[in-house]
Structure 1
Amino acid sequence: MVYKLSATLNFHSSDVRAISSPTSEIVLSASRDSTAVYWKKSASDASFAPASIFKPSERYINAVAYLPPSAENPSGYAVTGGQDAVINLFSLEDGQSEPVYSLIGHSENVCCLDVGQDGTIVSGSWDRTAKVWKNFQLVHDLKGHQQSVWAVLAVDSETTLTGSADKTIKLWQQNKVTRSFQGHRDAVRGLVIVPDIGFASCSNDSEVRVWTWEGDSVYTLSGHTSFVYSLGLLPTGDVVSAGEDRSVRVWKDGECSQIIVHPAISVWAVSVMPNGDIVSGCSDGVVRVFSAAEERWAAAEKLQEYEAQVASTSIASQQVGDVKKSDIAGMEALSVPGTKPGEVKMVKNEGGIIEAHQWDNAAGAWQKIGDVVDAVGQGRKQLYEGKEYDYVFDVDIQDGVPPLKLPYNVTDNPFTAAQKFLQVNELPLTYIDEVVKFIEKNTAGVNIRTGSEYVDPYTGASSYRSTGSSQGGQQTGGYVDPYTGASRYAPQATPSQQDFQSYSDPFTGSGSYRSTSQPAQPAKPTSSGFSTIPVAQPVRFAQANVEAMQNKIFQLSDSLGQSGVSITPLLNPGEKEALQTIFSFVSQAASSPSATQSNALLSSTVEVVLVLLERWPSANRFPLLDLSRLLFAYSPSTFSDVSFLDRFTSGLFTASDSDSGKAKETNILLLLRAMANALHTGLTAAHNSWLTQVLQQVEKLNYADLNKNQRTAYASVLFNFSCALVSGLKTNEQAFTYHLSMLLEAISGERVDSEPGYRSLVALGNTVYSKQSQATLSSQAPIFRSALLSLASTFPEDRVRMVVNEIVGNL
């Protein structure tokens, strides 16, 4: 049984990262070009053509699955997931291009999907969780992996299998782990059920393993020379695998029976049709179908054309071994048959060019698979902290100190990658140009495709926009991200000593705070006993892709209207006009944050947000809550009337209080960001009652139950309140008591991420500095000292140590 090319499906302009082939007439593909395609086979000439193109956002789509037909939707659904962290379901009815359902709950890239026979959807994400969805509702949150969940499998209605970058595979019964499988030496990337045995897994360790459900590793399929990304199962029970070594491999009885080489760097995904045909998705943006049935093979000229494409492809020398060119034999070496399928032999042709040939066991001949060249970088993808990168550089900062890791993708903006590297490692931003030059030098020759930076999963918020040139003459003003409109970041030339450098958080659009003073050189204490403290400038969550937010609100309105959720028009003409006014104002403010706007929005215009929040289902409120964040950030005078401010924020708290797990997590995150922005400068004693209500409502959230992004926003609320105290706000005892209680909870409870802990720490420092309610502070000083020392032990960072020492010395 020999597989040959059957069909070539061309549409995508970038890597095809996922494939599903539920029937012999349907193929679903998902790509980094931000589209998913529903391919349908023609009855006349057996070719495949796009029936629908789906584009849920401007971000990469990394996963796709098929939800079978139902009475509600006889054509079935395409299920997609990607960098926007949203799972979208598209009807395969002709002409449908908007998602029918959007499942919200993940906080990072959704990188894998599977659908069970009963319609259960399972998703895996970089947020280290898998989630189980039934009837479009979240029913199980699978938490237990230590790194990204790269593979999921819906075993049955109550059983799920997950594979992770932490090298383990876990079997779940509902939301409980019943068994953990260990054996892979690197990230687990794919899973497939093997009848009568158990399941198979593939990994970045280049191996495919077959397991029993009891945990025994039955056998290992070795042959791939790089990462193995995806698995499929033939009707015969044989396994198919695909990987970074450009190949799809067919395994029969534990041995490789055929290698299908592709003219691309990576074969990201493989799927098997019910008729036994194999479908692959590659880094060249092409979907290909291969068949063992001769009647479905492509025409002879197409087969020859494909073989020529494979033969003309250049291969990095790392992929075929480290051999001296002077030791390589001539073409006569190909007269000796190979000893095993997939064996690679390098030969030197008459022109002195090194060719790579691979033994095709089925054909009994050597097949040229490309010319060998010296690679421009690493020949394979790298994982860092469970996430995938084209490069992970070792950067030596100081002699005798272990090198720091700098992860980088060729689609990244070098300035953004450099800035994040400096921020994570607590290094001054004055080094940014040196790091950028290092990146550009070490990726020279790589075709850098302009792509979007990682943006806020709900708003499209991007990194800071350029305000001109960066140091060193690097012009940044002319570069504009085609997806988000964001420009490269240009650091301020001379930050003030007390300023906190702000690096754009990829999830919140906000800054991660740290002193601009080098950690190794702490400032000298002032006569008051403080040096780093106080920090009086509140943080704002102000980054946004306003156009994307606007489109999402109108899209949700249209979809709700079509679904018959409300018999009342979801947006009447007056409401549409009010929203247009709001978005026009916010768009102008966001594009020119330093410009002073002469007119603020009227409270009667902003009222439309409250009206829609009351009317819309909880799962659809997230863009309205996020819009509220921007209203507080860019039009604070709209809320100068404390009674309107109180009514507006009360509406936000009510709207975010949902029993639905998938919506509540998102809504709480966006609510906390909005509340942080609401605590702006200029608060007076007239706001005390309102402040008390806000802190009382926020305190009801259990800090231990919040995820990383929520905790960062929670800590920002506390920090901004402390900035008001530093600026002279005389608050009442009740609000102050709530504030201290929340600070203690955050400082005592943070054991995972230093950023929310540090923000809470600085908030406490500001509070102590403000010298308000000294009696209350004094009575709790021993408890706070213990919590502070524990935090410093958990996060042994210079910035933490400095502030802890200042606070302890002044309590």
Structure 2
Amino acid sequence: MDAEQRSGVGDSSPHAATYRLSRTLAGHAADVRAVAAMSRELLITGSRDGCVRLWRGNELNSYGIRVHAPHYVQALAVLSNEMIVSGSSDKTVAWIDVNTEQMTHLGKGHGDVVSALAVAPTSTLVASGSWDRTVRLWRDGESLMSLTGHDAAVWALLFLSDTEVLSASADCSIRLWDVRKGECAQVLYGHDEAVRALCRLELSAHSRGSFASAGNDGSVILWSMHGEQIRRYPNVHGSFIYALAAFQDMLISASEDRTVRILDLQQQDVVQTIPHPNTVWSVTMIPNADGDFLTGCADSCARVWTRIPERSAPAEHVAEYEMALAAQKTSMHHQHQIDPSQVPDAETALAQPGFRDGQTRLVRKSGTLDGIEVYMWSMSAGRWMKIGDVTDPPGSPERPLKTGFDYVFDVDVDVDGSAHRYRQLGYRRGENPYVAAERFLEEEHLPRTYLEQIVQFLITHVPASDMRADAGALTDPLTGADRYVPPAASSLPQGHSAGNLPDWILFPGTDSYERILEHLPENDRCRSLFQTLKPLTAEKVRMLSALLERTPPAQAVAVIDLARLVVLENDAIQILFGNGQPTVLDSVLRHASSAEASFGIHVSSCRFICNSFVHWQRAPVREALLRCADLILDTFTIIVHSDTPEKLWRAFAAVLYNYAVLESRCDAGRQSVRSCADRVLQSACLLGFARPAGVQEASELTDALWMLIHDASRAQLAISAGLLEWEEVPSKIAERIRMFV
């Protein structure tokens, strides 16, 4: 087959021609997460290996620019003809001179991964987005302002002008910011899940200057400059869309499903699907290159794609690319065999054209009885392209198989470039494939970036009749129940069903009582009254209420800690909560939200809130907890971050846990309870991003999430809030979500 046939070239006119491989840029040691381009002669890539690499013509810089190593590079943007900016998991933004290959400025200020970058059209203004939910504006390494409003990670940015920037977030929204005022001018909703990509459009059929968005729901939405939806394209991809780029009336999307798709906005359809050897993380247009674009892939390579025949790769390079696709071995061994005789012969099956671009088909190799291959239909090339093999793995026939499964696949996984290792993937009939994939990744200690690949493998290779779960199959895989029941040996709260409700997390300890007395305000009457906590008299409780009201925040730690103990007593509730607003809870929150509040005040306040839940059946307490929930969540979600001491992180996690228990005990049909729990779930997802490095086990947060995620809308809310973007998602929480999605 000659190069033109391999490339799938049709009409040579710029509009009609299809894309084919132009160059492969191989040099990184891990996923290429970000790409940028100054010209055809200067391309930039950023990788999980911590390097930014410059590609000048066919040459690359020898060692890479390691300003972020060992942290990975998440985002890139071109600032000028001499300068680029990079964002990283080290929470910084770096300004890099491409001539000297040296960093000139380093911007610090974000509290988490810098996940997006954008540059203003005609100025040196840089915007960065982060998992810390903020957008920051920079100039020459100096942070100018922070824009807050998103409830989850910021995944994409786009300047519409020097004074307007768009941000897309895992909270399912797109925000338009006026950078002169530092204010949000408009909030756009349209996606059902996290919004991951934005790009400017150049449309002949629509108003110039409109933009597109895409995200985890696999859809693409076109917007006018006024925030009106022009058109929605559902299911452009079958999985997450990570990046968008546009040229003339074409929109190019990169996805978890290992493909790049070309959406023709005039024809309103996908006109080409370009398979890749692995997840496609990023895509960008190359300036002044007649529509050439650059993709970054999880196979450690970046690739240039062109519609210009003269720029297409030599036949041997195209052959190497197709071999990389074909080398995606879906190697397996069955305990319950799929009969190869039921798989159509390649000569017969591949003689029939596909009915849609990207369609896959299993075929039996011609002349064999059991060799199975995977092909994908390329509409642009008008042919089936081999993208993988299904083969029996090498090795000893005595190699033991996993037991307890209807199917056992030997999956060929190359994680670190070392020798391939076959790992056994077990699957049970009717099982949610995401549950099987999560279990496999946890057992084999593999990164979650393989999740969608494993799921797609199962969907492709398990017969549809065995993949379909019946109505009763969607139950807790750990307990067989459809509500939360922790393992019996757990020391955590019990149950989540009638008659066996979870217990509260309380802080009743009195070991520090003498220290509390020592640090109470110098008031002889006060110290005399509280020489002993019990008996608890009305005078003591009124004295405590007065102290909370008049003590300055800087001296309030001991008073709040004393309130933590007093609020546990039934006799105190009438005075603390029974005289209308403000209650003692309002007084504590006034201190906690003060700019003068110390670490001790924050911890003591969380513990006081936790202890208040023990009186949830008393209406004034319950109503105060629901009424103050927004202030509690807003205050501590801002305060608690990844550098927060573990004691405070756990104290706030305990508050979230108790709110989850409250929902399980209250009438779940009450709108106030439901709305409160929705906010709690969002805060719990964000708290996972802020988990300090030293926290090895976080059962209170995990159990809170499990209780809160009890239906499809909550599962979607958790995904939108970014829960699946955590570095380590507890397997049972991922399973919980997958049961409802």
Using the size of structure 1 for normalisation, the TM-score is: 0.49
> Are the counterparts in 2 of residues 113 and 123 from structure 1 also a CA contact under 8 Å?
yes
Spell out the pairing of 1:255-266 with structure 2 (5 A cutoff).
Answer: 255-264=269-278, 266=279
1:723/1:280 CA distance change after superposition, 3 Å: same
Q: Is residue 2:62 matched to residue 1:55? A: no
Spell out the pairing of 1:290-301 with structure 2 (5 A cutoff).
Answer: 290-301=305-316
Q: Is residue 2:109 matched to residue 1:109? A: no
Q: Is residue 2:263 matched to residue 1:251? A: yes
Report the equivalent of 1:622: none
> Are the counterparts in 1 of residues 75 and 87 from structure 2 also a CA contact under 8 Å?
yes
Report the equivalent of 1:90: 96
1:298/1:797 CA distance change after superposition, 3 Å: closer
> Are the counterparts in 2 of residues 91 and 100 from structure 1 also a CA contact under 8 Å?
yes
Shift of 1:164: 1.4
SS of residue in 1 equivalent to 2:65: strand
1:316/1:116 CA distance change after superposition, 3 Å: farther
Q: Is residue 2:354 matched to residue 1:338? A: yes
1:60/1:95 CA distance change after superposition, 3 Å: closer
Shift of 1:747: 5.0
For 2:376, the aligned partner's letter is Q
> Are the counterparts in 2 of residues 40 and 51 from structure 1 also a CA contact under 8 Å?
no
Report the equivalent of 2:22: 6
Report the equivalent of 2:468: none
Shift of 1:23: 1.8
Report the equivalent of 1:668: none
> Are the counterparts in 1 of residues 341 and 370 from structure 2 also a CA contact under 8 Å?
no
Query: Hey, what's the Cα distance between the residues in 2 that align with 1:2 and 1:101?
Result: 41
1:92/1:232 CA distance change after superposition, 3 Å: same
Report the equivalent of 1:422: none
1:796/1:243 CA distance change after superposition, 3 Å: closer
> Are the counterparts in 1 of residues 222 and 231 from structure 2 also a CA contact under 8 Å?
yes
1:146/1:531 CA distance change after superposition, 3 Å: closer
Q: Is residue 2:601 matched to residue 1:745? A: no
Query: Hey, what's the Cα distance between the residues in 2 that align with 1:764 and 1:258?
Result: 57
For 2:195, the aligned partner's letter is V
Report the equivalent of 2:530: none
Report the equivalent of 1:356: 374
SS of residue in 2 equivalent to 1:100: strand
Q: Is residue 2:95 matched to residue 1:119? A: no
Shift of 1:89: 1.5
> Are the counterparts in 2 of residues 279 and 289 from structure 1 also a CA contact under 8 Å?
yes
Report the equivalent of 1:533: 509
Q: Which runs of 5+ in 2 are unaligned?
A: 1-16, 333-337, 392-406, 412-433, 450-490, 493-499, 523-551, 565-584, 612-619, 633-654, 663-741
1:182/1:316 CA distance change after superposition, 3 Å: farther
Report the equivalent of 2:197: 190
Report the equivalent of 1:226: 239
Query: Hey, what's the Cα distance between the residues in 1 that align with 2:275 and 2:157?
Result: 26
1:722/1:800 CA distance change after superposition, 3 Å: farther
SS of residue in 2 equivalent to 1:53: coil
Query: Hey, what's the Cα distance between the residues in 2 that align with 1:237 and 1:295?
Result: 23
Question: May I ask how many residue pairs the two structures share in their alignment?
Answer: 466
Q: Is residue 2:278 matched to residue 1:288? A: no
Q: Which runs of 5+ in 1 are unaligned?
A: 70-74, 318-322, 379-406, 411-438, 451-496, 501-517, 524-529, 539-680, 689-713, 727-739, 767-782, 803-811
For 1:206, the aligned partner's letter is G
Query: Hey, what's the Cα distance between the residues in 1 that align with 2:586 and 2:112?
Result: 30
> Are the counterparts in 2 of residues 748 and 787 from structure 1 also a CA contact under 8 Å?
no
Query: Hey, what's the Cα distance between the residues in 1 that align with 2:370 and 2:600?
Result: 56
Shift of 1:190: 0.7
1:101/1:301 CA distance change after superposition, 3 Å: same
For 1:356, the aligned partner's letter is V
Shift of 1:8: 1.9
For 1:132, the aligned partner's letter is L
For 1:271, the aligned partner's letter is T
Q: Deviations over 1:189-245 (max 9, x none)?
A: 1110002441111111112222222312324164422111111122x3421111011
SS of residue in 1 equivalent to 2:353: coil
> Are the counterparts in 1 of residues 172 and 192 from structure 2 also a CA contact under 8 Å?
yes
Q: Deviations over 1:132-152 (max 9, x none)?
A: 324544344332222211111
For 1:533, the aligned partner's letter is G
Report the equivalent of 1:310: 325
Report the equivalent of 1:33: 49
Identity %: 29
> Are the counterparts in 1 of residues 110 and 130 from structure 2 also a CA contact under 8 Å?
yes
> Are the counterparts in 2 of residues 357 and 368 from structure 1 also a CA contact under 8 Å?
yes
For 2:238, the aligned partner's letter is T
Q: Is residue 2:175 matched to residue 1:148? A: no
1:242/1:725 CA distance change after superposition, 3 Å: closer
For 1:7, the aligned partner's letter is R
For 2:508, the aligned partner's letter is T
For 1:186, the aligned partner's letter is E
Query: Hey, what's the Cα distance between the residues in 1 that align with 2:256 and 2:292?
Result: 21
1:36/1:721 CA distance change after superposition, 3 Å: farther
Query: Hey, what's the Cα distance between the residues in 1 that align with 2:261 and 2:20?
Result: 13
For 1:167, the aligned partner's letter is C
Shift of 1:347: 2.1
Q: Relative CO higher for 1 or 2, CA cutoff 8 Å, sep ≥ 6?
A: 2
Spell out the pairing of 1:246-645 with structure 2 (5 A cutoff).
Answer: 246-252=258-264, 253=266, 254-264=268-278, 266-274=279-287, 275=289, 276-314=291-329, 328-331=343-346, 332-349=348-365, 350-371=368-389, 443-445=442-444, 447=446, 532-534=508-510, 536=512
> Are the counterparts in 2 of residues 204 and 227 from structure 1 also a CA contact under 8 Å?
yes
> Are the counterparts in 1 of residues 254 and 281 from structure 2 also a CA contact under 8 Å?
yes
Report the equivalent of 1:178: 185
Shift of 1:799: 9.8
1:354/1:163 CA distance change after superposition, 3 Å: farther
SS of residue in 2 equivalent to 1:444: helix
Q: Deviations over 1:3-57 (max 9, x none)?
A: 22222222222211111113222222222222222x1323xxx444558413324
Query: Hey, what's the Cα distance between the residues in 2 that align with 1:375 and 1:110?
Result: 40
For 2:110, the aligned partner's letter is H
> Are the counterparts in 2 of residues 225 and 245 from structure 1 also a CA contact under 8 Å?
yes
Query: Hey, what's the Cα distance between the residues in 2 that align with 1:314 and 1:138?
Result: 48
For 1:100, the aligned partner's letter is T
Query: Hey, what's the Cα distance between the residues in 1 that align with 2:142 and 2:277?
Result: 41
For 1:245, the aligned partner's letter is D
RMSD: 5.1
For 2:382, the aligned partner's letter is G
SS of residue in 1 equivalent to 2:156: strand
Query: Hey, what's the Cα distance between the residues in 2 that align with 1:202 and 1:263?
Result: 22
Shift of 1:176: 3.1
1:792/1:799 CA distance change after superposition, 3 Å: same
> Are the counterparts in 2 of residues 228 and 242 from structure 1 also a CA contact under 8 Å?
yes
SS of residue in 2 equivalent to 1:269: strand
Q: Is residue 2:241 matched to residue 1:242? A: no
1:537/1:764 CA distance change after superposition, 3 Å: farther
Query: Hey, what's the Cα distance between the residues in 2 that align with 1:279 and 1:22?
Result: 11
Name which of structure 1's ranges 150-159 and 209-218 shifts more when overlaid on structure 2. 209-218
Query: Hey, what's the Cα distance between the residues in 1 that align with 2:104 and 2:408?
Result: 45
Query: Hey, what's the Cα distance between the residues in 2 that align with 1:105 and 1:375?
Result: 48
Query: Hey, what's the Cα distance between the residues in 1 that align with 2:229 and 2:298?
Result: 34
Query: Hey, what's the Cα distance between the residues in 1 that align with 2:173 and 2:408?
Result: 31
For 1:166, the aligned partner's letter is D
SS of residue in 1 equivalent to 2:39: coil
> Are the counterparts in 1 of residues 19 and 306 from structure 2 also a CA contact under 8 Å?
yes
Query: Hey, what's the Cα distance between the residues in 2 that align with 1:242 and 1:206?
Result: 10
